[in-house]
Amino acid sequence: MKKVKEGAGAAPARQPERVEWFQPLQEDPGRDRTQEQDRARGRFRRAAQTFSNLIGPPCRGMITMLTKGMATQSLASAPSMDFFGERVVSRRDEVPALVRKMHQSLSSNTPPDDRLFINILRLTDMYPADVVFTLLRCAPSCDRAAATMWKTIASSGMEKVLPKLLRVMEDWPLHSTSTSDGDKTDVFALAATRVIWEILRLPWCPEPLVKYSPPLLVHLLFQVFISTKQMPEEVNTFWRGCREKRGLPANPNRFAGQTVKALLRRLRCLHLVMAMERRRGWDTLLNADTHHYAVGLLAREMRRASSPLCSPVALCLLELLIREKPRWDLPAMAFLVEILDCLDMTDCGESILEILSRHLQSECKERRRLALRGLVVLSKDPVMAKRMCSLSESLVELLQDADVEVVGMALPMFMNMLQNKDILISRPTAPKLAEALRPLFDSDNSHVQVFSIRLFRKVMELVVAEGKKPLERYVIQSLLPLFLHWHEEKQRLAEASQEALLGAAKFLKRRDLNQLLKTEQPLKFSERLLEKDKRRAAEYLHQALPYLESPKEPLREAALRFIGIAGGCMRGQPEELQVIIETLQALRKDNCPSYTNVMVQALFDQRAAVLNSSSASRQAMSLEKHQIPFNRRPPGDQRKPSGAPGTDAKPN
């Protein structure tokens, strides 16, 4: 690869002097001027004042003459002529050589020719790409001579120059391009960032800088990230030279971060700079592992301040993310999901949905979480909720994820979708969704428990008619878990369980259960549930056994009471002895048995003794191996066995 050489040393700095305001013209030149001439006249008037600051008072008279001449001279009539009527270049391929010559002239100790600055603007206006790429090649570290040229360009030519600089910044680490003279030397992305840094240090703000600030901010943040992770040797060498000559930070990522702050200050977003400072966001931004968190923090602060940057920056990120293999997808998504509610989904909803759904199955947990967060926001929009129905199969799979945070976001997304009156649950989806929800009733996370139970109720209400029969099996299986969670101490969870039970009773057309639920008679509910379908007693008992190990005492006691009632319904059934053994094993693990625990264990001990003495039982030996001694009532336990099943029962 070719090395990029720099020009000689810089010219000594001159002290700028104040320039008097321009004198108004005696005649009205606007009568015969075209709109293009008006714009050109304004540009060069501003440029002339800048030049006076740059090159001092000797040229003040020349500048006055030039600005007055602008009133009657048409710039468009002589595109390759300078203000002195001389030709700047005769062919385009002469531009790079002239730019290098200008740079050399400014690098020498000889005072610059007055017309040099005018010619810089003329060339930039006509051939912006050639000027930008040539100057970046001949002075990549932006020495003083190059800085003077860039400041001159900033006074009037930034509208055409900034898009070229952004293209270079986007292509890390090198931008490949060819100027009109055939020079194909690569240009460093950091060289363009150096130019932006110099422009941001100007005492005035070029108007195009504000216009292009959203993509500029995105590219600078990308530079921070990519220069943290990837530093090829040629970039290291280049930056070492920049640091030695200009006293810049040792790490280019820190320099890019400083440029981000300078841009925000220039845009009068001091609150964002200070908010990031308070939360140590700038340090977080410089770490590759935490970079996306800092970008998300910046987005939240922008959102909180209602910054006009939010939407334009998000649209820039969408253009980046829509690519097949974006290099900055995680930080870009972190920003996007924070400000989704600022965007008009009519214009970009389809693109956002495509991007987020692409990351739903990502192996990276953080990408999957960000995608889910974004989908939760989209699901609140009725139109987007309809479009998300195509993702139902993938979303059901997420409910089985081991990450409780992922499950906790998937549930409210489903709830948001089902709030839409136009959405029903299809026949194949309903049983899959019900099956995935059932284990979540017993989650350690109460948020997941409540949402899963409420969503289960929605499934019963919104399933299409032909899907009711396949769903019936899962509704029956949910009766006992919902009944037991009705006894929870947390009110939200208990209420959600009761409402879901009412929905299940209605779905199964069990008016008897519905009435007992409304009058809150849990004991009679258990009896009626078993009385209606004794064939399921063994199934219900097996469902209740795991709850005997619950850390929540109300849940354990509710399970024990149910087991006591179910035990009576199973007498004479082949599975009775096995169920008794499993129950006694579960009770043995309870180090602090309640009064209900003791009573149920006593009943089962007695029943086991009867079965053990019967010669007809082939499982007698098995019972002896699992025989558990009677647990006496815990000392000091004065609680009454009110409502406990079997308290008045007599031994058989």
Domains in the chain: boundaries: 32-260, 424-518, 521-652
Q: Report d(CA 186, CA 1) in Å as an integer.
A: 8
SS3 assignment, position 282 = helix
The pLDDT of residue 569 is 74
The pLDDT of residue 38 is 52
Does residue 384 contact residue 345 with C-beta atoms inside 8 Å?
Answer: yes
**Two tokens at 227?**
């220069």
Q: Which residues contact 635 (CB under 8 A, 6 or more apart)?
A: none
SS3 assignment, position 17 = coil
SS3 assignment, position 81 = strand
Q: Report d(CA 587, CA 594) in Å as an integer.
A: 10
Identity of the amino acid at 632: R
The pLDDT of residue 22 is 27
SS3 assignment, position 463 = strand
DSSP structure class, residue 634: P
Angle at 596 between CA 590 and CA 600, to 5 degrees: 85
Count of CB atoms situated within 10 Å of the CB of 621: 9
The pLDDT of residue 347 is 86
Question: What is the distance in angstroms between the CA of the first residue and the CA of the last residue of the chain?
Answer: 97
DSSP structure class, residue 578: H
Angle at 454 between CA 449 and CA 455, to 5 degrees: 100
Angle at 37 between CA 33 and CA 42, to 5 degrees: 115
**Two tokens at 180?**
């009109």
Q: Report d(CA 450, CA 499) in Å as an integer.
A: 11
SS3 assignment, position 635 = coil
Task: Establish how many alpha carbons lie within 13 A of residue 40's alpha carbon, considering only the half-sphere containing its beta carbon.
Answer: 24
CA Rg, the chain, in Å? 39
451 Rama sector, left if φ>0, alpha if ψ -120 to 50, beta otherwise: alpha
Q: From 354, 268, 348, 349, select the one nearest 309 (Cα to Cα).
A: 268
The pLDDT of residue 42 is 55
SS3 assignment, position 232 = coil
Count of CB atoms situated within 10 Å of the CB of 20: 9
**Two tokens at 448?**
């997941």
Q: From 550, 556, 508, 554, select the one nearest 532 (Cα to Cα).
A: 508
**Two tokens at 447?**
């948020």
DSSP structure class, residue 87: B
Query: In the chain, which residues have pLDDT < 70?
Result: 1-87, 571-581, 583-597, 599-652
Does residue 351 contact residue 318 with C-beta atoms inside 8 Å?
Answer: yes
DSSP structure class, residue 250: S
pLDDT tens string 71-128: 333 333 334 444 434 567 888 999 999 999 999 999 988 887 778 898 999 999 999 9
Angle at 217 between CA 211 and CA 222, to 5 degrees: 145
Q: Which residues contact 3 (CB under 8 A, 6 or more apart)?
A: none
Does residue 98 contact residue 120 with C-beta atoms inside 8 Å?
Answer: no
The pLDDT of residue 280 is 95
List of long-range contacts for 598-603, beta carbons under 8 Å, 24+ apart: 598/631, 598/632, 598/633, 598/634, 599/564, 599/641, 599/644, 599/646, 599/647, 600/560, 600/561, 600/563, 600/564, 600/567, 600/645, 600/646, 601/628, 601/630, 601/631, 602/630, 603/564, 603/567, 603/646, 603/649
Computed from CA positions of residues 340, 346, 352, 356, in that sequence, does the dihedral angle turn out positive or negative? Answer: positive
Computed from CA positions of residues 580, 585, 588, 592, in that sequence, does the dihedral angle turn out positive or negative? Answer: negative
The pLDDT of residue 537 is 82
The pLDDT of residue 595 is 62
Q: Report d(CA 188, CA 169) in Å as an integer.
A: 8
Q: Report d(CA 580, CA 604) in Å as an integer.
A: 6
Angle at 442 between CA 438 and CA 448, to 5 degrees: 85
Does residue 285 contact residue 291 with C-beta atoms inside 8 Å?
Answer: yes
Identity of the amino acid at 453: I
Angle at 150 between CA 109 and CA 190, to 5 degrees: 110
Does residue 592 contact residue 553 with C-beta atoms inside 8 Å?
Answer: no
DSSP structure class, residue 400: T
Dihedral angle, C-alpha 227, 232, 235, 241, nearest 10 °: 110
